[in-house]
Amino acid sequence: MVDLALFLAFLPAALALVLTPGPDTLFTMAQGLRAGRRAALAAAAGISTGNVINSALAGAGLGIIVSAAPWVFGIVRWIGVAYLLWLAWKTLRTPLAGANTRTIRPARAYRDGLIVNLSNPSAILFVLAFMPQFVDPTLAIFPQFLIFGVTLALLNFSVKAMVGASAGTVGPWLARNARIERGLRYVTAGIFGAIAARVAITGLRP
């Protein structure tokens, strides 16, 4: 279903991209600071699920849809920006884990990670531009995209989980101090806001 030589070429390229800090890495780190390790791991799982969905959609012809109706892409982008800004506002108003408050449920953190990934133009464009280079046109297209997507998701989860778990270990401990907790809240909200700005600016580039 996948050419072995192409797959072996895909692995180091995908790993290099996964190791490069980006919005997904910052989001997972912010969730760890905000709500602890469980939320960070769930957010990483949501992001990885988004990788698989984007890959499956690309294999099913997402590129054709985006070319025919680019305005759909714009709507998705601005929904993501609005959602990230809402998360930033919510973080500012809600004490972080470790500050005598109920932590964020893993299911909610998973949902947030999934939405952030699926609404990020960079993640979608990455799949459309990067994966076709490793697809053998003589073989079935969709299964190849799916295999590459699952591989990328596993690599992504491994890296994001380590980053998020590290932040989730330190964050709740620091949040026991009222001043530090307030500072972490501003930092975390700022990260969400920065990701929203990056998503918006990426969408405005030609």
Q: Where are the domains of the chain?
A: 24-204
Burial classification of residue 104, based on how many CB atoms lie within 10 Å of its CB (0-12 exposed, 13-18 middle, 19 or more buried)? buried
Q: Which pLDDT belongs to residue 75?
A: 72
| Percent residues over pLDDT 90 in the chain | 6
8 Å CB contact between 32 and 44:
no
Q: Average pLDDT in the 5-21 region? A: 78
Query: Alpha-carbon torsion 188, 193, 194, 196, what sign?
Result: positive
* Cβ 97 vs Cβ 172: under 8 Å: yes
Answer with the residue of higher pLDDT: 26 or 72. 26
Give the whole-angstrom CA distance, residue 171 versus residue 175. 6
The pLDDT score that the predictor gives to residue 127 is 76
In degrees and rounded to multiples of 5, residue 143 shows phi and psi of: -60, -35
Task: Report whether pLDDT(141) > 90.
Answer: no
Averaged pLDDT of the chain: 76
For 87-134, strand residue ranges (E) read none
Best CA proximity match to 27, nearest among 99, 100, 83, 107: 83
pLDDT in tens, 163-187: 888 887 776 666 566 676 677 778 7
Confidence of residue 45 (pLDDT cuts 50, 70, 90): very high
